Amino acid sequence: MNKYKNMNIYWANLCILNRIEADEMEKAAESWKKDKNIEPRMIYLGDTEEIQMYEKLDKDLAAGKVGFDLIVSSRFDVFCSQKYLQGCKEQLFPVRNYFDVKVDLKGIQDPEGLFHPLVVLPHYILVNTNLVRNEDAPQSLEELLDPVWKGKVYVGSTDLPSGKSVLFNIWYLYGKEGLEACVKNWKQKSAPSAARFGSVKGECPVSILPGVFTGPGPQDNLRAVCPREGAPLLPSYAAVRESDIAQNVVDFLAQSAASIPFITLYRERAFAYPAHPRVSPPEGSGNKMFFPPWEWIKEQDMEYFEEACKRMS
């Protein structure tokens, strides 16, 4: 008989660090198991796993109850959608009072305090300077909605958080018309890394990518531009299920994915901007940033948004 009580952790976070994340979380889980007689069970979800986060939550909610004690994901849409966590908030444990957040990221906290932001990934416009003169380089996201850029803008796949977050932020800024312009005129690649490679090779003059893909490399034909509107953000959130071990789960989160060493790892390896007030931002990240306010998010038709993302070529 298992003498430990299980703590189920649904995990689909920053895919560029998935092996490192897994190693660190497994270490934290083993330590916690010895000290607390509670066994954190890592359930990895996503494109490199047997099942997607959406499929797992669909099965849970069809049965009437979420199966996680802790969920950590950069799949921001599962936190925003009425189909998923917005539709089962009564099953969640408020975590806001247990974690502080940098002042400039207070706006990405949900009003009920159910979703704790761990880090955000700012996105920038990446310009191939062999194809676009400096004086012609786009300075705003709005410029890229013009039909003159049709077929000339790459984003990562909208099946993945990066590409989807870019379109989500455009939707907020420029409404349905702006979102439909992206769907009609821009192109998606299999991943942000593929979009960067395409930019380097001259396939497309412009990409919109996370900061980790826009930094200096051996190529000298790329230049990053922070959009005039600010850098659109992709947040990574954590949420806890209401249960008799909810406080233990919060404590585990504080000592693992929300801890200073873990958040520092994200900053150093993924150019992530930390929400933790005691972890300094990555060098060169002092630009304006934005993410839609939750008051706006709650009023949106996420099913329409998902359908629009699927229509993008």
pLDDT digits (tens, 9 = 90+) for 62-86: 999 999 999 999 999 999 999 999 9
172 has a pLDDT exceeding 80: yes
Name 199's Cβ contacts closer than 8 Å, sequence gap at least 6.
Answer: 126, 128, 154, 205, 206, 207, 222
Rounded to whole angstroms, the Cα distance separating 19 from 16 reads: 8
Rounded to whole angstroms, the Cα distance separating 182 from 195 reads: 15
- Mean residue pLDDT of the chain comes to 92
126 has a pLDDT exceeding 80: yes
- The one-letter amino acid at 156: G
User: pLDDT grade, residue 167 (50/70/90)?
Assistant: very high
212 has a pLDDT exceeding 70: yes
User: pLDDT grade, residue 2 (50/70/90)?
Assistant: low
Q: What percent of the chain has pLDDT over 90?
A: 81
Give the pLDDT of residue 1: 45
User: pLDDT grade, residue 47 (50/70/90)?
Assistant: confident
Region 165-179 average pLDDT:
98
CB 120 within 8 A of CB 287: no
Query: Which residue has 């003059």 as its token pair?
Result: 205
If one compares 300 and 215, the residue with the highest pLDDT of the two is 300
Over residues 271-297, the pLDDT tens digits come to 999 999 999 999 877 789 999 999 999
310 has a pLDDT exceeding 90: yes
Q: What is the pTM of this model?
A: 0.95
Over residues 232-255, the pLDDT tens digits come to 999 999 999 999 999 999 999 999
> Looking at the chain, which runs of residues are DSSP E strands?
5-12, 38-44, 70-73, 92-93, 116-128, 153-156, 187-189, 206-210, 222-225, 231-241, 273-274, 289-290
DSSP structural state of residue 286: -
If one compares 311 and 16, the residue with the highest pLDDT of the two is 311
CB environment 193-211: b (16+ within 10 A), e (fewer): ebbbebbbeebbbbbbbbb
Show the domains of the chain with their CATH numbers: 5-120+235-285 (3.40.190.10), 121-232 (3.40.190.10)
User: pLDDT grade, residue 16 (50/70/90)?
Assistant: low
Give the pLDDT of residue 109: 95
Q: Give SS3 for 91.
A: helix
Q: CA angle, corner 210, sides to 27 and 283, nearest 5?
A: 75
Rounded to whole angstroms, the Cα distance separating 241 from 181 reads: 38
